Structure 1
């Protein structure tokens, strides 16, 4: 199945295989410095990932960011957050929220990235 291009030239990110396989839902998003020209710096982890699981590099996969957005569309909104961002996706039954991990503060909707094709 073809994945839509939500964000043009969005690059690739490192993602837990638990997210890719559907075993776990996206929960943690951390943006690090890019390690290669195509790397946008995002590291995406699932709600079931443990430190031991993530310590094994074979449990991580490089994927186009748009592919990961197809799995969890809420990621579109965080695309242009700066390096150093440490976020979590919270779903307590009343809708998805993106929360800054350090402060516990919910990110307001006006801070989210809007793809060019969806701008008014």
Structure 2
């Protein structure tokens, strides 16, 4: 069965995500990168804005999803794809658009730090 979302990042792998995000009950708000547990695991853990501690503690509320599917839900994820293990970020939807905040420093991540997929890099042909 063909996927219903584009491949933004070739070979992006899979991430753990809360089911509230996958069902659109929640908007992606927090993203953390842990060490990979399996070869296909890219280490990203994706949480929604309505997820509570009780919700997160129930393993039935988590699912594995292709990172490209999550990028289709929240395109801001494309820019953080290659951030290192230990990254702890918040995606905020503000009046001026989407901003990504590094929760460790409390600072907005500059656009110059974002990942650019290979086909969108300067000098690359489609």
Query: TM class by shorter-chain length?
Result: over 0.9
Matches within 5 A, 1:1-120: 2-120=4-122
When the two structures are superposed, what TM-score results if normalisation uses the length of structure 1?
Answer: 0.97
How big is the alpha-carbon RMSD for the aligned residues of Structure 1 and Structure 2?
A: 0.8
When the two structures are superposed, what TM-score results if normalisation uses the length of structure 2?
Answer: 0.93
TM superposition outliers: structure 1 runs of 4+ over 2 Å: none
1:41-79 deviation line (CA, Å, top 9, x unaligned): 000000000111000011010001001001001000000
What is the number of residues matched between the two proteins? 120
Who wins on radius of gyration, i.e. which is larger? Answer: 2
Give the distance between the partners of 2:11 and 2:110, measured in 1 at CA. 25
Give the distance between the partners of 1:93 and 1:24, measured in 2 at CA. 19
What residue ranges of structure 2 are gaps of 5+ in the alignment?
none
1:11-35 deviation line (CA, Å, top 9, x unaligned): 0000011110001100000000000
